[in-house]
Amino acid sequence: MKKYPFEISALEINDLDVCLGTKCLYELVFISKGKGVLYLDQQECTYQEKDFYILSPYYPHTFLPEETTVFTIIRFTEVFFNHQNINSEDWFKRLEIIFCNHSKSPNVLMFSTVDKEQIAALINVLLNENDKKNINTENIIVNIIQVILSIVERNILISISTSFLAQKIPNKILEIINYIHAQIYEPKALTIDNISRKFNVSPNYLNEYFKKHSGSSIKNYILKYKVKLIKYKLEYSDASISELAYMFNFSDESHLNKVFNKFEYKNPSFFKKNQ
C-alpha cells in the first residue's frame, strides 16, 4: 500500500480523554464539532467548534471533551520529508518558521470568522479527497494543505504585526522583518546591500532606520533570529552543532558557539543538555 506524506483522520470522542500526540513531526488539529478542555504542557484552555491548533509531539497534549467532539487531524510524517513529488525542504522550513513563531501556550489560533469558515470548508474537501483516493488526490491534498498553512501563516503574521503596532513600530519595519524571516536560510538575500535594494533605500539609511525603530541593527536582528531557530532545532531535532553551523551559514562550530553565547549567555551544547 502506498504511504502518504500526511496522516489525515477524523476522530470522534465522547466522554473519554484522548491524547492526540503521536510519533510525527507536527500536527494540525481542527475542532469539527464539540467542546471541552485542552491540556498542553501543564497549561489548559477551553476549545469549541471551528477552533484550530498547531501542536508538537514534544509537548504533551490531551483533549478532554465535555461533549461529543470530532477532531480533524493533519499529521506530517517522516514520509513527508522523503517524498519526491513535493519540495519537502521548502515545506519543512515553512512549517518550522510557523511553529517557531507561534506561541507554545495552548491558546487557539485567532482566526477571523471568514478564515474559520474557509478552514472548515477546506477541511471538508480534504477529508473527502482522503477517503476517495481518486486520480490526482494526492496533488489536491497537497494543494489544500498549502492553502491551510498559508492561512495559518497569515494569522501568525497578523498576530506579530498587532504586537509591533502596539509598540508603535512602522509597517515598513514589519515588512523588513517578514522578509528576513522568509529568507533566513538564504545568506545572499540577507546582505545589507540586497535588503536595501529590495526596499529601495541606501544601506546606511536602512541600518539607521531599522535600528531607530526596532532597537537592533539589521545584522544583530538576523543573528538573533538565527539563534531562535537554532534553539528550536536543538530542542526538537538531532542536528549536531556542526550541522547547524553549516545550515545557518556560520563559518564553523566555534563561530556559532560565539554568537549563541552572545544572545543566550551559554553555549549550544549546554542549552541542549538542559532541555
pLDDT attached to residue 23: 47
What count of residues does the chain have? 275
Q: Using CB atoms within 10 A of its CB, is residue 184 exposed (0-12), middle (13-18) or buried (19+)?
A: buried
Q: Which CATH superfamily is domain 6-164 in?
A: Regulatory protein AraC (2.60.120.280)
Can you say whether the dihedral through the CA atoms of 224, 229, 187, 91 is positive or negative?
negative
Are 5 and 83 within 8 A, CB to CB? yes
Are 141 and 129 within 8 A, CB to CB? yes
pLDDT attached to residue 172: 85
Q: Measure CA of the first residue to CA of the last residue in the chain; give whole Å.
A: 38
pLDDT attached to residue 223: 95
pLDDT attached to residue 3: 55
DSSP readout, 171-197?
HHHHHHHHHHHHTTT-GGGGSHHHHHH
Closest by CA to 47, choosing from 131, 88, 106, is 106
pLDDT attached to residue 22: 47
| Grid cell listed for 93 | 522550513
Q: What is the residue extent of each domain of the chain?
A: 6-164, 171-273
pLDDT in 10s for each residue of the chain, 275 residues = 455 567 888 888 765 545 454 445 577 889 999 999 888 767 788 889 988 887 766 667 788 888 889 999 888 765 554 444 445 556 666 666 666 665 555 555 666 788 888 999 999 999 998 887 777 888 888 889 888 888 887 777 777 666 665 666 777 888 898 889 888 888 899 999 999 999 999 999 999 999 988 888 999 999 999 998 898 788 767 788 999 999 899 999 999 999 999 999 998 888 887 76
pLDDT attached to residue 205: 93
pTM: 0.68
> 171-182 and 88-101 helices cross at what angle (nearest 10)?
140
For domain 171-273, give the fold.
Answer: Arc Repressor Mutant, subunit A (1.10.10)
Give the position of cell 544572545.
263
